[in-house]
Structure 1
């Protein structure tokens, strides 16, 4: 190995080390940005809840919004059965996991 090829190899390994350090950092930044975007969309959806809207709780219980207070949602889950949930525990069906966007309630 000549002196010139040794210097070129050392420079290439420095670039490779920098790349190996930068990739995890870029991945973390990407994950934080997408999580923040998802949280913002969820907050906007929870603020836009309306009486009569079909929703799902974070625990998986489905129902229709009977009434809204500041941070409390009255959810009708069966005839004559109304439960109270925190607004942050309600997910509109359009944002429910496993359901394509815009798909109506299951029959």
Structure 2
């Protein structure tokens, strides 16, 4: 019968003076790689979406067809500093905050 110390004594053990092999062996590399991955996979795309949303809101014009974040479809009737008046049906207008506009279709793009 083989005893446990005999099995482990045959395995090669790392010595205290051995240097890690390659750049990925350094302990500080993995956290840096995680931060870089988070930036390119999460933070950067969200910043781009925010910029696109701000550009859509800045380009709003009377007559544009819009969809709100609540799913209400309508046509822009008037625009104020922080709000947009949306015509949802004949004689029915609802006032929304500008950030509540999710998508915009320009009035000249009917196709």
TM-score normalised over the length of structure 2: 0.68
Instruction: Report the counterpart of residue 73 of structure 1 in structure 2.
Output: 84
Q: Note if contact 1:68-1:74 (Cα within 8 Å) is conserved in structure 2.
A: yes
Report matched runs for 1:1-107 at 5 Å: 1=12, 7=18, 10-12=19-21, 15-16=24-25, 17-30=27-40, 31-93=42-104
In 2, the alpha carbon distance for the partners of 1:3 and 1:81 equals: 77
Contact 2:74 2:88 in 1 (8 A): yes
Aligned residues: 94
Q: Distance in 2 between matches of 1:44 and 1:23?
A: 32
Identify the structure with the greater helix proportion: 1
Q: CA RMSD in A?
A: 2.9
CA distance in 2, matches of 1:43, 1:79: 29
- The answer (yes or no) to whether the contact 1:71–1:86 under 8 Å persists in 2 is yes
Is the contact between residue 46 and residue 92 of structure 1 (CA under 8 Å) also seen in structure 2?
no
Could you say what secondary structure the match of 2:33 adopts? Answer: helix
**Structure 1 spans left out of the alignment, 5+ residues:** 95-102
> Deviating runs (4+, > 4 A) in structure 1?
1-4
